[in-house]
Amino acid sequence: MGENKRLMLAGEWYLPDDPELGADTERRIARCAAYNAAGGAPPAERHKLLAELLGEVDESVRVRPPFHCDFGYNISIGAGTFVNFGAVFLDTGRITVGRDVQIGPNVQLLTPTHELDAERRRQGWEKAEPVTIGDNVWLGGGVIVCPGVSIGANTVVGAGAVVTRDLPAGVLAVGNPARVIRELG
């Protein structure tokens, strides 16, 4: 494994313009295209394509195309989870989605972050912070989950919310930035 990929996987600053990461991107482009084009194929065939793209995915997971990601191999999706149309999972860092999660259309799970220093940002430095979604979470349409955020089990995030900080288990959160408005019973 090359230095930039090792740094990326370790959550440290790295340069993404790297031949090894470029090859990983080409692999993802081909696999995402195959999966997104197989919308009418039998479920077993679609799951096989999804399993080739993602790091870990239970056979009961349903992902409606189009689906987009950075690499795929940093994504784990638990049993019974449903991902609706237009999902974007930027997985330069680890994305872990629990069991029985409902993900609305156009949801974004984002792990990359960029340098605040303008010169280092121009040079292309970035790193990733993991995103973790607990079991039985519902993310409404258009939710954006920012780098480094964890959402506790049984939490509901309202449509269009931007989650910039961790959310505890069993709450309803809405808005930009998302804020807890009540506990769920």
Q: Of 114, 120, 165, 182, which residue is the catalytic one?
A: 114
**Residue 114 designated active-site:** yes
Residue with tokens 């990929």: 5
> Three-state DSSP class for 172?
strand
3-state per-residue secondary structure call for 101-168 = CEECCCCEEECEEECCCHHHHHHCCEEECCEEECCCCEECCCCEECCCCEECCCCEECCCCEECCCEC
Element (H, E) at 180: strand 179-183
Any residues with CB less than 8 A from the CB of 22 and at least 6 apart, and which? none
CA dihedral 151, 39, 61, 93 (to 10 degrees): -40
> Three-state DSSP class for 97?
strand
Q: What are the catalytic residues?
A: 114
